[in-house]
Chains A and B, each alone.
Chain A
């Protein structure tokens, strides 16, 4: 991973879209900038492998990241996606220091802000604004995990497709149909039928 210099306000702008109106004081923002590295990765680069302990919070600035489980040694079961402005991390690892059971991979060439856990935690003690930012990230994770749970349990395939599209600003157009099918939990053939049916309803 290569470290590049990027406009610091970009982090705040992107994070704002999902985390709400976070007003960081200039001091807190500078302190955050100090501990945040801007990482630029190529398409298909692995950001976290299973077994590693996640010690950072990532926020996508540009690009797209997938969080997924590997089932039976090969099959990808998609857990979630993060697009511009969304935070991503392995929660269990971040909170409990457990080795990750998920993999995180860039699906497009991606630029993301990487916030170091240890440094961030000590800054949260010092700056209340940053502690509030962390709380917002936790609340966002609670809301999105809860939404995803309800989609998994109670949506039919068409509703899951729409949920994926709407909750992530047209994501279905950016990822492969294999990944869409895995997220929805259907075969690619079924996905084709869903798409055809939805197009029919539109026109």
Chain B
């Protein structure tokens, strides 16, 4: 676990960080703005109905965002060490959210409050540049997930998840994984059973 957001960036976003030069002053500013929040398992960081104020970066643990649809919960985003999470529409457009943010494991998260982040970017252009790069990184990951999802069969979706983020498969309850992939829990368990048989036969 990293003690401050700058160390977190070095560990997980070195590419983004190396293309902007931050002065000592900027680094201090960045550290001050990032709030480190320790959360227990199942704790809620955001409740639907509020305007989302936070952009979070996971340094330890596991976070999910979810919303309710026809009495069911839809797991929308999953984030583990090195991932960030944003309630996109609510955060950027400042409209009430329909999504909840909750920990799956005890977690430590760096939180940026929108108002404070905006104010910091207003006075510090290098930090603004850094956050533009972090937005690009987030967008590319989102696009990749979209490409992996559009009309791919369930088995292909699960295989790409195993390949790209095996930690999710290991640590996230099956029911959330199924929802995250947009498949039923029954289909997921069939795929997993089939994979086990295939492994044995190899």
| 0/1 string, A128-145, CB within 8 A of B gives 1 | 000100110011011101
Whether the Cβ atoms of B69 and A77 lie closer than 8 Å is: no
Contact yes or no, A146 B88, CB < 8 A: yes
| Chain B: interface residue total (CB-CB under 8 A) | 25
- Provide the residues of chain B in CB contact with A1, threshold 8 Å: none
Measured between alpha carbons, how far is A192 from B86 in the docked complex, in Å? 37
Cβ contact within 8 Å between B149 and A146: no
- What distance in Å separates the Cβ of A160 from its nearest Cβ neighbour in chain B? 11
Question: Whole-angstrom distance from the CB of B46 to the nearest CB of chain A?
Answer: 16
Enumerate chain A residues within 8 angstroms of B74, measured Cβ to Cβ.
150, 154
Chain A CB within 10 Å, residue with most, of B128, B140, B146: B146
Q: Is the CB of A145 within 8 A of B146?
A: yes
> Does A108 sit at the interface, judged by CB under 8 A?
no
Interface residue? B120 (CB, 8 A):
no
Looking at chain A's contact residues, is the secondary structure mostly helix, strand, loop, or mixed? helix
**Quick one: given A77-B150, A147-B89, are A138 and B139 in contact (CB under 8 Å)?**
yes
* Interface residue stretch chosen among A7-15, A89-97, A193-201: A89-97
Interface size of A by Cβ–Cβ distance < 8 Å? 27
Tell whether, in the assembled complex, residue A152 and residue B142 are in contact, meaning their CB atoms are under 8 Å apart. Answer: no
Q: Are B150 and A143 touching (Cβ within 8 A)?
A: no
* B136 interface residue per 8 A CB criterion: yes
Query: Interface on chain B toward A: helix, strand, loop, or mixed SS?
Result: helix
**Chain A residue contacts of B151, Cβ below 8 A:** 77, 152, 185
The answer to whether A142 touches B132 (Cβ under 8 A) is no
Nearest Cβ distance between residue A142 and chain B, in whole angstroms?
5
B140 to chain A, nearest CB (A): 6
Instruction: Verify B89–A138 contact, CB threshold 8 A.
Output: no
Given A142-B88, A143-B92, A154-B69 in contact, is the A149-B136 Cβ separation under 8 Å? no
Query: B43: shortest Cβ distance to chain A, in Å?
Result: 24
Q: Does A173 contact B (CB under 8 A)?
A: no
Looking at A101, A143, A185, which has the most chain B CB atoms within 10 Å of its CB?
A143
Q: Are A142 and B146 in contact (CB under 8 A)?
A: no
Within 8 A of A (CB), among B85-117: 86, 88-89, 92-93
User: Which of A69, A79, A145, A154 touches B142 (beta carbons < 8 Å)?
Assistant: A145
Tell yes or no: A33 within 8 A of B by CB: no
A129 to chain B, nearest CB (A): 13
- The B133-155 residues at the A interface (CB cut-off 8 A) are 135-136, 138-140, 142-143, 145-147, 149-151
Interface CB pairs A-B, < 8 A, 23? A20-B93, A69-B147, A91-B143, A92-B140, A96-B140, A131-B132, A135-B132, A138-B135, A138-B136, A142-B88, A142-B135, A143-B88, A143-B89, A143-B93, A145-B143, A145-B146, A146-B88, A149-B145, A152-B150, A152-B151, A154-B69, A154-B74, A185-B150
A residues with a Cβ closer than 8 A to B are 20, 69, 77, 79, 91-92, 95-96, 101, 131, 134-135, 138-139, 141-143, 145-150, 152-154, 185
